[in-house]
Structure 1
Amino acid sequence: MTQEDRSRDRIQSVERAVAVLRAFGGHDATSSVSELAARVQLPRPVVRRILLTFEHIGYVRSENGRWALTARILELGAGYFAASSLPEIAQPIMAEIVAQTGETCSMGELDLPDVIHVARVEERRPLPDAVRVGTRLPAHATAVGRVLLADLPEPELDAYLARPREAYTPLTIVETGALRERLRQVREDGYDVSIEELHPGMIAAAVPIVVAGRAVAGLTVSSTTLRSREAALRDEVVPALRDAAERIAAAYRAANPGVYRTPPAAG
């Protein structure tokens, strides 16, 4: 199916409705119709009709002119967090990483131009600027994002690198040539370390979780410059992450035999 065929088969009203739901993320608990309309760049009457539809089926509620998601919205993600899902399988192994390193462990999946955090196990000492499950972070400015970018097919990587990128600190890599070279090094090393590239004082190491030759997610440990150093991340955390990523990949493959079939023996 060509890109033109896919475009013809899309339902615009569904795309708009999903955009309104996504507009609730990362903002205040409640939003007005005007605020949502501005975020999705749709007319207020269109957004209002979408909200009324979602209210009818129980996914949003309104009070005093403000709209909020209801608990029923969690139904939409229930299938993703099933027993055979990557986050569910990874959670106990991530807890072992936290016990071993004394630092917070997260897992992210690529959704260009960002990484979405899909699982997280906190260390008892909370991190500043801590993220939650569902938080999106820029792929180019995070270790977990770069281990996933490094796995992209060349045409997809070229398309991504053609986009502008934001510098979050003086250490953020934004120049195309420098980022391409960094990703080449990440591909060669099999891991990445980020030092104060997204937030001052924050550092992280990450490795890809590779299933059937494809990086399906990234596993990362985050800390602060007060608690850890780059050498400790490379020498102690990265080996632990690699072992955990291999175990998660093996368990995920075994839990999804219909997707990852073992090829028949030769002869």
Structure 2
Amino acid sequence: MDDRRNAPEGRDHIQSIERGFAVLHAFDADRPRPTSTDLAEVTGLSRPAVRRILLTLQHLGYVQPVDGRWRLTPRVLSLGQHFTSTNSIVEVAEPHLARLSETTAESASLAVLDGTEAVYIARVSVRRIMNIDVSPGTRLPAAATSMGRVLLAWAEEPQIERVLSAGAPAYTDRTVTDPKALRGILRDVHSQGWSLVDGELDAELISISVPVRDHSGSVVAALVSSTSVARATPEEFRADVLEPLLATAARLSTDLGQPRGLAAREQREGFF
């Protein structure tokens, strides 16, 4: 007998669904049209198992075969649309993001923490060439991004440890990878109430993030503004953007139910 079935998580765990999502997640920018063999190698599943999953996903309309390879169909977009339509924070945030972007002439985004990554859930872009093309659903490493550091600065210790223990690859020569140094950065972020990252994920990118809180005062998202080094130095960007970013986060937090004046008190709470 499978011992895992005797544990609560074992009884409630449906392995076939987990494997189905593993196959879906294996479709990415490096593998937009993989073969079943490619998917088996990436997921660690057997080729017969991958084939059955692909045929099921095809029946449901999420993938389709093309010349011996597989590709996602537009139906997968509905998964993200369902999140947007059922998650009130996105609807509430959109007008705030639009006003912030108009005020700063820079992109404005909202992100949440998912595992070791920060995920964009809403974004207003400016018409400008950036080295990193992001849109709702884009996932970036939490440890190397300003939004990820804001979210981690108010996260519980197990979540922080999970991210730091996963290791942080050096995306550029500026990327901070040492776990001890990252903990120090998170303490600073928690203390000052914002995070600025300059060239750690992409050498040409600067971003500033601040926390967004809900009715309980908990940090539920990070508000992000980003630009390129061709447009501003980190000091100039901070001087121009931080104040409207903080003001926008305060208004958004109020719309999410946070009582006025709570932010300063709650900022001191959390793991750090």
Same fold (TM over 0.5): yes
Report the Cα offset of residue 157 of structure 1: 1.7
Kindly indicate whether the alpha-carbon contact (under 8 Å) linking 1:26 and 1:135 is maintained by their aligned counterparts in 2. no
3-state secondary structure, aligned to 2:84: coil
Deviation, 1:84, is: 5.1
Give the SS at the match of 1:79: helix
Match of 1:218 among 216, 219, 222: 222
1:55 lines up with 2:55 in the alignment: no
Distance in 1 between the 2:61 and 2:161 partners?
42
Compute the TM-score of the two structures, normalised by the length of structure 2.
Answer: 0.86
**Which of 13, 16, 21 in structure 1 is aligned with 2:16?**
13
- Cα deviation 1:63-95 (Å, max 9, x = unaligned): 211211222222323331117532232122111
| Moved segments of 4+, more than 3 Å | 25-29
Pairwise CA RMSD: 1.9
Larger mean Cα displacement after TM superposition, 89-98 or 20-29: 20-29
More displaced stretch, 58-67 vs 188-197: 58-67
Measured against aligned partners, the alpha-carbon deviations of 1:109-142 in whole angstroms (never above 9, x if no partner) come to 1112111112221112221222222221111111
Letter in 1 for 2:251: R
Match of 2:108 in 1: 105
Tell me the distance in 2 between the aligned counterparts of 1:213 and 1:95: 24
2:145 is matched with which residue: 142, 152, 161?
142
1:187 Cα deviation from its structure 2 partner: 0.3
Contact 1:84 1:252 in 2 (8 A): no
1:234 and 2:234 equivalent? no
Counterpart in the other structure of 2:124: 121
Does the CA contact (< 8 Å) of 2:172 and 2:201 recur in 1? yes
Give me the TM-score of the superposition, normalised by structure 1: 0.88
Partner of 1:252: 256
User: Which runs of no fewer than 5 residues in structure 2 stay unpaired?
Assistant: 1-5, 259-272
Aligned-partner Cα distance in 1 for 2:256–2:54: 37
Name 2:133's counterpart in structure 1. 130
Secondary structure (helix, strand or coil) at the match of 1:177 reads helix
Q: Secondary structure at the match of 2:23?
A: helix
Q: Which of 70, 78, 81 matches 1:78?
A: 81
- Cα 1:231–1:112 shift into 2, 3 Å: same
